[in-house]
């Protein structure tokens, strides 16, 4: 066991709740998008409507990605690989996981990756 059961349970609960919140939020956003578009006579209104729509879509995409990440992390809890760094296989500190539960990397590898991404422009 990589992590104490108590900690695992904490993360499982926390991420399940987080996911539920996100689902609820994206439901709301979805309904917003579904609403019949007000026939905007003013082109300015039309433009800002499009802007709002694009913005909502961006947020929805981000939410969907996050939900996916949380799903992955929950699966990792089930598999018993939660809290292990994908790159070096070492334990990720509970402190770091509490700040960023969906991370797959320890802080050292995360920093290395960021350096790499900057260098090769990923």
Residue numbers at the binding site for Zn ion (CB under 5 A) = 85, 87-88, 106, 109
Distance between CA 119 and CA 7 in Å, rounded? 36
Sorted by sequence, the CB contacts under 8 Å of residue 105 that are 6+ apart come out as: 85, 86, 87, 92, 113
Closer residue to Zn ion, CB minimum distance, 70 or 85 = 85
The C-alpha atoms of residue 107 and residue 54 are separated, in whole angstroms, by 34
Instruction: Choose between 26 and 97: whose C-beta lies nearer to Zn ion.
Output: 97
Nearer to Zn ion, 66 or 87 (CB): 87
State in angstroms the smallest separation of the CB of 83 from Zn ion. Answer: 11
In the complex, the smallest distance separating the C-beta of residue 117 from Zn ion, rounded to whole angstroms, is 15
Please, which residue, 15 or 106, has the CB nearer to Zn ion? 106
Rounded CA gap, 7 and 34, in Å? 40
Smallest gap, in angstroms, from Cβ of residue 110 to Zn ion? 8
- How many angstroms separate the CA atoms of 119 and 86, rounded? 21
Residue 90 in contact with residue 106, Cβ under 8 Å? yes
Minimum Å gap between C-beta 93 and Zn ion is 11
């Amino acid at each position: 066991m990589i992590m104490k059961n108590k900690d695992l349970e904490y993360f499982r609960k926390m991420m399940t709740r987080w996911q539920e919140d996100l689902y609820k939020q994206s439901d709301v956003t979805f309904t917003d998008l579904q609403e019949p578009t007000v026939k905007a006579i003013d082109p300015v209104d039309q433009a800002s409507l499009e802007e709002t729509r694009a913005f909502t879509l961006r947020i929805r995409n981000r939410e969907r990605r996050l939900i996916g990440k949380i799903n992955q992390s929950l699966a990792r809890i089930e598999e018993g690989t939660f809290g292990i760094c994908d790159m070096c296989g070492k334990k990720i500190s509970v402190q770091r996981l509490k700040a960023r539960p969906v991370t797959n990397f320890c802080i050292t590898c995360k920093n290395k990756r960021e350096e790499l991404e900057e260098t090769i422009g990923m």
